[in-house]
Amino acid sequence: MDMNSVVSEMRQPAKATAEASAATKRATPKPAKKAKRATVYFEVEILDAKTREKLCFLDKVEPHATIADIKNMFTKSHPQWYPARQSLRLEPKGRSLKDEDILQNLPVGTTATLYFRDLGAQVSWVTVFLTEYAGPLVIYLLFYFRVPFIYGPKYDFITSRHSVVHLACICHSFHYIKRLLETLFVHRFSHGTMPFRNIFKNCMYYWGFAAWMAYYINHPLYTPPAFGEHQVKLAVIIFLFCQLGNFSIHIALRNLRPAGSKTRKIPFPTRNPFTWLFLLVSCPNYTYEVGSWMGFALMTQCLPVALFSLVGFIQMTIWAKGKHRSYLKEFRDYPRLRSPIVPFIL
Q: pTM for the full model? A: 0.81
Q: Of 3.40.47.10, 3.40.30.10, 3.10.20.90, 3.50.50.60, which CATH number belongs to 42-120?
A: 3.10.20.90
The length of the chain, given as a count of residues = 346
Residues near 189 by Cβ (< 8 Å), separated by ≥ 6?
125, 126
Q: What is the pLDDT of residue 28?
A: 55
Residue 235 has pLDDT above 80, yes or no: yes
Give the whole-angstrom CA distance, residue 346 versus residue 5.
Answer: 109
Q: How far apart are CA 294 and CA 243, in angstroms?
A: 12
Give the pLDDT confidence score for residue 197 in this predicted structure.
87
Furthest C-alpha separation in the chain: 144
Beta bridge partners of 207: none
pLDDT of residue 206: 96
Instruction: List every span in the chain annotated with CATH 3.10.20.90.
Output: 42-120
Contacts of 5 (CB under 8 A, 6+ apart): none
Q: In angstroms, rounded to a whole number, what is the distance separating the alpha carbons of residues 303 and 309?
A: 10
Mean pLDDT score of the chain, rounded to an integer? 89
Q: What's the confidence (pLDDT) of residue 34?
A: 58
Ramachandran category for residue 281: left, alpha or beta (phi over 0 → left; psi -120 to 50 → alpha): beta
- Report, as an integer, the average pLDDT of 133-152: 95
| Listed range (48-57, 135-144, 186-195) with the worst mean pLDDT | 186-195
194-212 average pLDDT score: 93
The confidence band for 69, taking pLDDT boundaries of 50, 70 and 90, is: very high
For 269-320, the pLDDT digits (tens) are: 999 999 999 999 999 999 999 999 999 999 999 999 999 999 999 999 999 9
Contacts of 331 (CB under 8 A, 6+ apart): 266
- Residue 41 predicted with pLDDT over 90: no
Q: Are strands 42-48 and 111-118 parallel, antiparallel or unpaired?
A: parallel
